[in-house]
Amino acid sequence: MTFLIQQTLIYAVPLMIVALAGVFSERSGIINLALEGIMIFGAFMGVLFVNLAQKAGWFVDAKAAGNWLALQGFEVLAMLVAALMGAVFSLLLSFASINLRADQTIGGTALNLMAPALVLFFIRLIANQNTLQMATGDSASWFMIKKSTLGFEKNADLGFFGNTLLHKVYLATYICILIFIILSVILYKTRFGLRLRSCGENPQAADSLGINVHKMRYAGVSISGALAGMGGFVYSLTTANCTSNGDVAGFGFLALAVMIFGNWNPLNIAGASLLFGLFKCIAAAYSSLDINGDGVYMLAQIGISSHLYRMLPYIITLVVLAFTSKGSRAPKAEGIPYDKGQR
């Protein structure tokens, strides 16, 4: 059970935060099809930062001394770098779709093509292979929080919640959940959030009330880029051992599905990403999954192919959308370049 919850969270959290990235962009009126590309770019930048910092010997002393607080700070720093670079990369989308009034779908597709190409080009130059890794060690030994890092005995029993939430986890997971909650509140309970959402619903009316639509849309896409970049790094940190290879296994597109599945609403998105995370987790580990701890590997005994579990999230999305598409409610003005002359 502990394993199931932890693994589900590991898959669900990047999905959740990247889906929220999509919400911020679309609520401001810009379709962000480039989530996948921004994730790839952010993951690369985060891993590159870790790699270069290790080579420069920044945190080597802390690692040798077992100073886990400094190492967690290192992780947060890498997340910040990924977020910053994701925001910078997303400026390409904002510039094309806000200033040049370009087709947002095609602009996003271009970014999706650009990110893996750029990333692989540089990885090949830097590492002489198609994967960029940490300079030394792996993500588990540097960044994972374990019982021992927190000062407990190796065989200390922390209870169910302690075992689940404090042993073999990443700080990044909790930071993402925190950011998710804070940003959801900002989107719904602050003046900024209301203004942002108004630009995605009726930019003409917003403009007539003195809101700068272009600025708001830049803000929306930049927040979106930062979240997606960070999500990409968190994905590579927690599931790919802090490596970057120009691929996030379609998580960006899956996040897009989660966003639509969750009807552009953070609470629903959190639920949807947990569901998707659960399926991802089952697909990856169903044969060794012992749900209630009685030593019976139920899912393995049913004998359904892992291929089916891998397919399920996508099939479920299609089926659920088929039933809910009538009630689905996208931001009204998304995809339309704002034109002052139409007021």
Partner 1 sequence: MSFWKKEGTQKILSSLISILIGLVVGAIVVLVVGIFNKSISLKGAWEGIRLIFIGILSTGRNASGALTWGFNPASIGNMLFRATPLIMTGLSVALAFKTGLFNIGAPGQYLMGTLATLSIALSIPSGALPGWLIWLLAFLGGVLAGALWGAIPGLVKAFLNINEVLACIMTNWIAANLVTWAFDASNFKNMVEGTKSGYIYKTTYGLVDGSYVDGAGIATAKLGLNKIFPGSQINAGILVAIILAIGVYILISKTTLGYELKACGANRHAARYAGIHDKRNIVLSMALSGGLAAAGASLYFLSGNTEFFWSTYQSLPAAGFNGIPVALLALNNPIGVIFSAIFMAMLNIVGLQLTNLTAYNEYITDVIIAVIVYLSAFSLAIRMLIAGKKKAVPPKNGYPKPGDPKPEDLKPIDKKPDAAEAVKGGDEA
Q: Please, which of residues 114-133 interact with partner 1 by CB under 8 A?
A: 114, 116-118, 120-121, 124-125
The answer to whether 314 contacts partner 1 (rule: CB under 8 A) is: yes
Distance set, CA 322 to CA 113, 263, 327 (Å): 29, 13, 10
For residues 147 and 127, give the distance between their C-alpha atoms in angstroms, rounded to a whole number. 34
Q: Residue 169: beta bridge partners? A: 145
Nearer to partner 1, 191 or 329 (CB): 329
Distance set, CA 218 to CA 10, 96, 127, 198 (Å): 30, 11, 35, 14
The answer to whether 172 and 75 are in contact (CB under 8 A) is: yes
Nearer to partner 1, 60 or 118 (CB): 118
For residues 36 and 46, give the distance between their C-alpha atoms in angstroms, rounded to a whole number. 15
The answer to whether 330 contacts partner 1 (rule: CB under 8 A) is: yes
- Count of other CB atoms within 10 angstroms of residue 162: 15
Total interface residues for partner 1 by CB under 8 A: 61
The answer to whether 250 contacts partner 1 (rule: CB under 8 A) is: yes
The answer to whether 334 contacts partner 1 (rule: CB under 8 A) is: yes
The answer to whether 307 contacts partner 1 (rule: CB under 8 A) is: yes
Nearer to partner 1, 163 or 245 (CB): 245
Nearer to partner 1, 75 or 247 (CB): 247
What is the closest distance, in whole angstroms, from the C-beta atom of residue 240 to partner 1 in the complex? Answer: 11
Q: Where are the alpha helices (DSSP H) in the chain?
A: 2-27, 35-55, 60-65, 68-94, 104-127, 139-143, 159-166, 171-189, 191-201, 203-208, 213-239, 251-261, 266-285, 298-302, 306-324
The answer to whether 136 and 58 are in contact (CB under 8 A) is: no
Q: Encode 264-284: b = buried (16+ Cβ within 10 Å), e = exposed.
A: bbbeebbbbbbbbbbbbbbbb
Nearer to partner 1, 129 or 141 (CB): 129
The answer to whether 325 contacts partner 1 (rule: CB under 8 A) is: yes
Nearer to partner 1, 189 or 332 (CB): 332
For residues 148 and 156, give the distance between their C-alpha atoms in angstroms, rounded to a whole number. 9
The answer to whether 191 contacts partner 1 (rule: CB under 8 A) is: no
For residues 147 and 159, give the distance between their C-alpha atoms in angstroms, rounded to a whole number. 12
- Count of other CB atoms within 10 angstroms of residue 141: 12
Residue 302 has which token pair? 């049913």
Nearer to partner 1, 83 or 110 (CB): 110
What is the closest distance, in whole angstroms, from the C-beta atom of residue 165 to partner 1 in the complex? Answer: 30
Q: Among 54-62, 76-84, 176-184, 320-328, which window interacts with partner 1 (CB under 8 A)?
A: 320-328
Q: Please, which of residues 255-294 interact with partner 1 by CB under 8 A?
A: 256-257, 260, 263
Nearer to partner 1, 123 or 223 (CB): 123
CA nearest 19: which of 312, 217, 269?
269
Print the binding letters for residues 23-42 with partner 1: x by CB under 8 A, - otherwise.
Answer: ---x----x-x---------
Binding site for partner 1 (CB under 8 A): 26, 31, 33, 92, 96, 100-111, 113-114, 116-118, 120-121, 124-125, 204, 247, 249-250, 253-254, 256-257, 260, 263, 305, 307-308, 310-311, 314-315, 317-318, 321-322, 324-326, 328-330, 332, 334-337, 339, 341-342
